[in-house]
Amino acid sequence: MAETKKLFIKTYGCQMNVYDSERMGEALEASGYVTTQTPDDADMILLNTCHIREKAAEKIYSELGRMKAHKVNNPDLKIGVAGCVAQAEGREIMRRQPAVDLVVGPQSYHRLAEMEAKTRRGEKALDTDFPIEDKFEVLKNRPKARRAPTAFLTVQEGCDKFCAFCVVPYTRGAESSRPVQRIVDEAKDLVERGVREITLLGQNVNAYHGAGIDGNEWGLAQLIWELDKVDGLERIRFTTSHPNDMQDDLIEAHEHCSKLMPYLHLPVQSGSDRILKRMNRSHTAESYLRLIERIRKARPDILMSGDFIVGFPEETEADFQATLDLIEEVRYGYAYSFKYSTRPGTPAAERAQVDDAEANERLQRLQALIFRQQMEIQQSMVGREVTVLLEKPGRDSGQMVGKSEYLHAVHINDCTAQPGDLVKARITEAVRNSLAGAMV
């Protein structure tokens, strides 16, 4: 048994990084690491990074500057960079910040233990390959620790769509799907450890096309129906979807599969066909709206969420107005909106950029509209009965917090049930970011 060492992981970016950070923690358990909540006493610090916008990537270098200070008190401390910045910038990271000992891209986490050993021999370790072996298969032997009631499970990774603004196809590589059986096994393992709700993850999760149990290729809907059979698994979600991959059987699953929750994150990015075309999105505003119509026909109460980019190169006030019009028509329960950020190497980086003040102003207008919709929808929940999956005790004594079917956070006072329980609650009040409910 190796001596116990402490690992501090800081996670940035999307849910897939959250999932990957867990896997990295497990990969280093074999080398004697336990995770710690602070960098102060760590023997290894790992930053799991995001490259999606310039700010996200630059933040890493200032954080590395701060983390480096810990080496003064602890000369044995190793610092590693994982995730999408690691993939995009590779060795450049060690050049800009020589305190970095290890750089590992998202496709090489199964080699982490070996790489850590290399740093212990005083060498630098770098791996940003796209190997052919299944990293998750190599990472799978994990201890049966009890877990929170909700978990992420990556089923698909990478993207072949090459939207003109986006780095993901370069940092996560070509699209690939894990086989159904491995996903089902992992889901059963999670359920044995107390998980009740699983969110299936993929950069293009609805493009999922993994090897099915019958030897044929299965789509996401078939995978969901297979997971539906897992006893003890109560809720299934998936994210993020692309409008072009929303197949009929997936829409039907929203109608018929009771474990599939009525919430769908379906980014559109813009409401202007001219801009959508320049973004290489290959859908129109109209086709997106008709798609949502079909989804709502299958599941009328479904809560829609989306992503928007404002100030994309060449975006005019009229283009932006078309985005606001689309938002008015859809009515979003949640939305994530970003000012366009130039990413070196992507096609849009070469084009005429929108004035920064103009872009900021558009972002504010868009966010005000989204906020209003969000509040209206939350307000409309008052008086309705929802089912809440309890996650943890709330701030007040006797209070529990969980999520409704629609992913709203619900606080329940005088709650006698436990985390992991599903309880019926009537919504009594909508507050800024959450709902209050009473058990029925």
> What is the contact surface with ligand F3S in residues (CB under 6 A)?
13-14, 16-17, 50-52, 83-84, 167-168, 171-172, 203
The Cα–Cα gap between 39 and 181 comes to 38
**Residue 292 CA to its chain's centroid (Å):** 22
The Cα–Cα gap between 436 and 45 comes to 39
* Conformation bin of residue 280: beta by default, left when phi > 0, alpha when psi is -120 to 50: left
* Nearer residue to ligand SAH within complex by CB, 203 or 222: 203
Contact range with ligand SAH by CB under 6 A, out of 94-102, 163-171, 280-288, 426-434 = 163-171
DSSP 207: G
CB of 291 to ligand SAH, least distance (A): 14
338 touches ligand SAH (CB under 6 A): yes
The Cα–Cα gap between 226 and 132 comes to 26
The Cα–Cα gap between 46 and 63 comes to 11
204 touches ligand SF4 (CB under 6 A): yes
Q: Which of residues 206-225 bind ligand SF4 (CB under 6 A)?
A: none
Closest CA to 368 of 380, 379, 376: 376
- 201 with 376: CB under 8 angstroms? no
51 touches ligand SAH (CB under 6 A): no
| Positive or negative torsion for Cα 373, 376, 378, 381 | negative
Burial call 229-261: b when 16+ CB within 10 Å, e when fewer: ebeebbbbbbbbbbbbbbeeebbebbeebebbb
What is the C-alpha R_g of the chain?
22
- From first CA to last CA, the distance across the chain in angstroms is 51
* Nearer residue to ligand SAH within complex by CB, 33 or 308: 308
Residue nearest to ligand SAH (CB): 307
265 touches ligand SF4 (CB under 6 A): no
Contact range with ligand SF4 by CB under 6 A, out of 38-46, 120-128, 161-169, 369-377 = 161-169
168 touches ligand SF4 (CB under 6 A): yes
17 touches ligand SF4 (CB under 6 A): no
338 binds, among ligand SAH, ligand SF4, ligand F3S, none (CB under 5 to 8 A by kind): ligand SAH
162 binds, among ligand F3S, ligand SF4, ligand SAH, none (CB under 5 to 8 A by kind): ligand SF4
17 binds, among ligand SAH, ligand F3S, ligand SF4, none (CB under 5 to 8 A by kind): ligand F3S
The Cα–Cα gap between 284 and 70 comes to 51
11 binds, among ligand SF4, ligand F3S, ligand SAH, none (CB under 5 to 8 A by kind): none
From 168, 200, 354, 415, residue interacting with ligand SAH (rule: CB under 6 A): 168
Here's the x/- map for ligand SAH, 231-270, by CB under 6 A: it reads as ---------x-x------------------------x-x-
- 438 with 399: CB under 8 angstroms? no
Name the residues that contact ligand SF4, by CB under 6 A: 159, 161-163, 166, 168-169, 203-204, 242
Name the residues that contact ligand SAH, by CB under 6 A: 52-53, 165-166, 168, 203, 240, 242, 267, 269, 307, 309, 338, 340-341, 343
